[in-house]
Chains A and B, each alone.
Chain A
Amino acid sequence: LKISLKMSMFASKVNISSLEKKPIEQRFNPYRDNGGSVIALAGKGYCVLIADTRLGGGYDILSRNVSKCKQLNSKCIIAAGGMLADRRALFNVIDARHIIFEHQHFRPMTTQSIAQLVSVTLYSRRFFPYYTFNIVAGIDEEGNGQLFGYDAVGSMEQLPYGVQGTGGVLATPFLDNQVACKTHEDDKRDLSLAEAIELLQDTMTSIAERDIHTGDSAEVWIITEDGIKMEILPLRQD
């Protein structure tokens, strides 16, 4: 009885018209998340990036074999989680700029320049962003791995290892433990290329276990001074 009394006291102060439904704006949603994960690791003399090839659409699988990556030159690739359409558009823009740069400079872009260009391009769309969560992975001028991570509007950060996509959050604490040794600083050491590939492959298969949007297969990109190699890693298809 006491409660209902209080409510009626409030009710008397409420304006009746606010109980009528206000108009709700209906708009075409320009964005969608096509799912998938990208993980990468930079080390001495190499950079490894693994990106799954599943294309999702909500709970559906739209394709089991669509790449999330683009090779720009013999030393650098770009990959992204998020929306396929924006990813394609962005990668085509960066690729075109890279080709024009090569025409004008008679040499390819350095990984750092590509990284900066991606940042600037993303920010140029600050008020209608590319729905992409990018990683630029490559080799620097000394032959060591260089890795950059971004948000959707171009906030750029150079990283020793990076993750993007729906399964990224599953990988982050694991890589914090295994690569940066955040939980056991005394054991920190540089990983060899073979160790890095094995670690990232295990990480990707583990993501596929738990993230419903990640799976089918993954592209394993290995970047060294001798060039770029790509292998396929099968993942679970459920």
Chain B
Amino acid sequence: MSSEPYSFSLTTFSPSGKLVQIEYALAAVAAGAPAVAIKAKDGAVLATEKKHKSILVEEHSILKVENVTNHIGMVYSGMGPDYRLLVRQARKIAQQYQRNYLEPIPTTQLVQRIAAVMQEYTQSGGVRPFGVSLLICGWDNDRPYVFQCDPSGAYFSWKATAMGKNYINGKTFLEKRYNEDLEVDDAVHTAILTLKESFEGQMSSDNIEIGVCNKDGFRRLTPAEVTDYLANIA
């Protein structure tokens, strides 16, 4: 990671005590496509907008909501390529854990390890921080988890949160709409409505992605299932 001429970190303190590179990374996240995560009683939901730059783009070839293991999934706001690297590393971390301990990695452990990776890139030589914030949801210990991982390496557990463009409005919307008794179906509904707040144009199963996590594991909803949920919004 650090070659001879770049043995110093590019992320350095400003006089006011800020790490400016991380601030800029967070700006890259805030400029990214909106992503939402909501924890329900019996599971958790991830959702994101997936607008294509052109009608020529092959629609379902790029996936934003990804499995890390059978029981953990993630989504992001920010730079796609940075995200893919983290997905790959998260999957590897999960398998190494499984290999060492013969049990699926607890969500909290995975989040802590991914966050440690992201922190490394703020202190190693010759690299820049990741331009993504991750939303990770999982199911273990008979309960759902929702975590956010930031470019700085900080991680937070959320009941519900929004990231990316218009995230402040998204969070305000969730503060009003969230309650502890939501079930997964209600949470999907609420997630779609939150995305709708900042959505330009008509929502369809081709331009949003939804992932659901419950005791049976994590999976991405099929376009048909997404269309069903969208039909209930109208």
Stretch at the interface among A109-117, A171-179, A189-197, A209-217: A109-117
Q: Which of A86-109 contact B (CB under 8 A)?
A: 101, 104-105, 109
A105 to B99, CA, bound (A): 17
- Indicate if A120 sits at the interface (CB-CB under 8 A): yes
Residue of B nearest to A116 (CB): B102
A115 to B101, CA, bound (A): 8
A112 to B104, CA, bound (A): 12
Q: Is the interface of A mostly helix, strand, loop or mixed?
A: helix
A117 touches B101 (CB 8 A): yes
B101 touches A109 (CB 8 A): yes
- Indicate if B223 sits at the interface (CB-CB under 8 A): no
A120 to B95, CA, bound (A): 13
Q: Which of B131-181 contact A (CB under 8 A)?
A: none
A120 touches B100 (CB 8 A): yes
Chain B residues near A120 (CB-CB < 8 A): 99-100
Residue of A nearest to B98 (CB): A116
A27 to chain B, nearest CB (A): 33
A113 touches B109 (CB 8 A): no
Residue of A nearest to B96 (CB): A120
Chain A residues near B100 (CB-CB < 8 A): 113, 116-117, 120
A35 to chain B, nearest CB (A): 31
A113 to B105, CA, bound (A): 11
A105 to B100, CA, bound (A): 15
Which of the residues A104, A109, A110 comes within 8 Å of B109, measured between beta carbons? A104
- Indicate if B103 sits at the interface (CB-CB under 8 A): yes
Chain A residues near B126 (CB-CB < 8 A): none
Chain A residues near B112 (CB-CB < 8 A): 104
- Indicate if B106 sits at the interface (CB-CB under 8 A): yes
Residue of B nearest to A113 (CB): B101
A105 to B103, CA, bound (A): 13
Chain B residues near A116 (CB-CB < 8 A): 99-102
- By a beta-carbon cutoff of 8 Å, the part of chain B in contact with chain A is 99-103, 106, 109, 112
- By a beta-carbon cutoff of 8 Å, the part of chain A in contact with chain B is 101, 104-105, 109-110, 112-113, 115-117, 120
Sample of 17 further A-B pairs with CB below 8 A, known A112-B103, A117-B100: A101-B101, A104-B109, A105-B106, A105-B109, A109-B101, A112-B102, A113-B100, A113-B101, A113-B102, A113-B103, A115-B102, A116-B99, A116-B100, A116-B101, A116-B102, A117-B101, A120-B99
Q: Could you jot down 22 A-B contacts, CB within 8 Å? A: A101-B101, A104-B109, A104-B112, A105-B106, A105-B109, A109-B101, A110-B103, A112-B102, A112-B103, A113-B100, A113-B101, A113-B102, A113-B103, A115-B102, A116-B99, A116-B100, A116-B101, A116-B102, A117-B100, A117-B101, A120-B99, A120-B100
